[in-house]
Amino acid sequence: MVYGMWAIVEFFKFVKFKNTDIGEVNKMEEKNESLTQKKATLTLQKMFYLDCFVSISYAIITLSFPGQILKFTLNKPGNLDSFHKLYCRYFGAYMLYSVIMSAVCISLNLKQQKIYAIQRAITQTIVFAIHIFGHWSLGIYSPNHITPFMISGFYITFILSIYFRVKSCDEESNDEENKFFDDNEDDSTFDNSVNYEGKLKTN
């Protein structure tokens, strides 16, 4: 009898320890997933803020010094008039849209962030194409234009990295949702089967 009681107590200890161990493992997995999500969100936030900083710097410089920029980059700066400066300031004003959107984009959902990132990439690609057309086809730019031209091209890769980062976070979120729904479906299927078996036994 003593050995029987001992065996029962040890069995309950084993079952309790096993359940506790599984629960702790699940909690650790949840903590790791939440930390990974926070790190990904923080990295994405930094990237959007960096884009905001670059855009506002671009806008301030373009709005403040349109004449100096045009004289520095164009081949024949002597033919400049007020309309050239006005259009240069227009471009700086349009950059304020990127400043505002990049500043608040982290508060949007991942789908909207992905749409915004691809729009920024397309816009920057168009700007880069205009640089190429003006530099080699029209020949209106001086050799000083090479530096902003290269910066404009390399900046496309940064915006694309934002897009792929958002896309990766979106895919991870979708995988977690699918996993959650699959687990719920399995639980509901198990409950239905148990209820069905109980009804059969009752009948």
Task: Say what the pLDDT of residue 82 is.
Answer: 84
Whether residue 202 lies inside any domain: the answer is: no
Task: Say what the pLDDT of residue 192 is.
Answer: 55
Domain range for 87 is 38-176
Structure tokens that stand for 70 in this block: 């045009």
Q: What is the pTM of this model?
A: 0.66
Q: How far is CA 177 from CA 33, 136, 171, 180, in A?
A: 13, 50, 10, 5
Task: Say what the pLDDT of residue 158 is.
Answer: 93
Whether residue 31 lies inside any domain: the answer is: no
Whether residue 170 lies inside any domain: the answer is: yes
**Cβ neighbours for 56, distance < 8 A, ≥ 6 positions apart:** 95, 96, 99
Whether residue 168 lies inside any domain: the answer is: yes
Task: Say what the pLDDT of residue 203 is.
Answer: 52
3-state secondary structure 114-132: HHHHHHHHHHHHHHHHHHH
Under DSSP, is residue 76 helix (H, G, I), strand (E, B) or coil?
coil
Q: What's the total number of domains in the chain?
A: 1
150 — phi, psi (to 5°)? Answer: -70, -40
Per-residue pLDDT of the chain (203 residues; tens, 9 = 90+): 544 555 555 555 555 554 444 555 455 555 545 545 556 678 888 889 999 999 999 899 999 998 888 888 888 766 777 888 888 898 888 889 889 989 988 888 888 888 999 999 999 999 899 888 988 888 888 888 888 888 888 999 999 999 998 888 878 776 665 665 555 555 555 455 545 455 555 55
Task: Say what the pLDDT of residue 75 is.
Answer: 81
Task: Say what the pLDDT of residue 122 is.
Answer: 92
Instruction: State the CB neighbour count (10 A cutoff) for residue 131.
Output: 20
Identity at 30, one-letter amino acid code? E
Whether residue 199 lies inside any domain: the answer is: no
Whether residue 19 lies inside any domain: the answer is: no
Whether residue 8 lies inside any domain: the answer is: no
Whether residue 22 lies inside any domain: the answer is: no
In terms of phi and psi (left: phi > 0; alpha: psi -120 to 50; beta: otherwise), the region of 108 is: beta
Helix (H) or strand (E) holding 50: helix 2-64
